[in-house]
Amino acid sequence: MESITVPTRQRAQLIDVTSEVQNAVGQSGVKSGYCICYVPHTTAGITIQENADPDVVRDLLWKLEAIAPHGDPGYHHSEGNSDGHIKASLVGSSATVLVEDGRLVLGTWQGIYFAEFDGPRRRRVLVSFLGA
């Protein structure tokens, strides 16, 4: 298992970690199989999304904020980050990507994004592999 450190700079942001995950695939020696990316945080997640147009990332963050706004007075959780828990639950904590010929199998416009919802912080993405 590999660990990728992701320093975040904002309360909510999506960070493209595709190249870091691909580097982990290369170091693993796996030529064919599965790459599993897992985020061990309750206010962060991981998703596969378009990486060609930055407006997609902006729109995702905007809509998640509309669904679960930061500072909503209806939240009961005392730490003040209920919105982060909700957003992380909606996005999910893991993503599985196929590996073929030692490369991630992603669509032309796809990238792997770390999703921060309670930053800035220093986070981790854990990457594991299953060979076929």
Asked if residue 51 belongs to a domain, the reply is yes
Asked if residue 74 belongs to a domain, the reply is yes
Looking at residue 64, which CATH number applies to its domain? 2.60.120.460
Whole domain around residue 85: which residue ranges? 8-131
Asked if residue 3 belongs to a domain, the reply is no
88, 43 contact by CB (below 8 A)? yes
The predicted-structure confidence for 24-72, as pLDDT tens digits, reads as follows 999 999 999 999 999 999 999 999 999 999 999 999 999 999 999 999 9
Asked if residue 69 belongs to a domain, the reply is yes
The predicted-structure confidence for 98-112, as pLDDT tens digits, reads as follows 999 999 999 999 999
Task: Give how many domains the chain has, as a whole number.
Answer: 1
Mean of the pLDDT values across residues 85-100? Answer: 98
Asked if residue 79 belongs to a domain, the reply is yes
Tell me, what's the pLDDT at 79?
94
Asked if residue 67 belongs to a domain, the reply is yes
Asked if residue 2 belongs to a domain, the reply is no
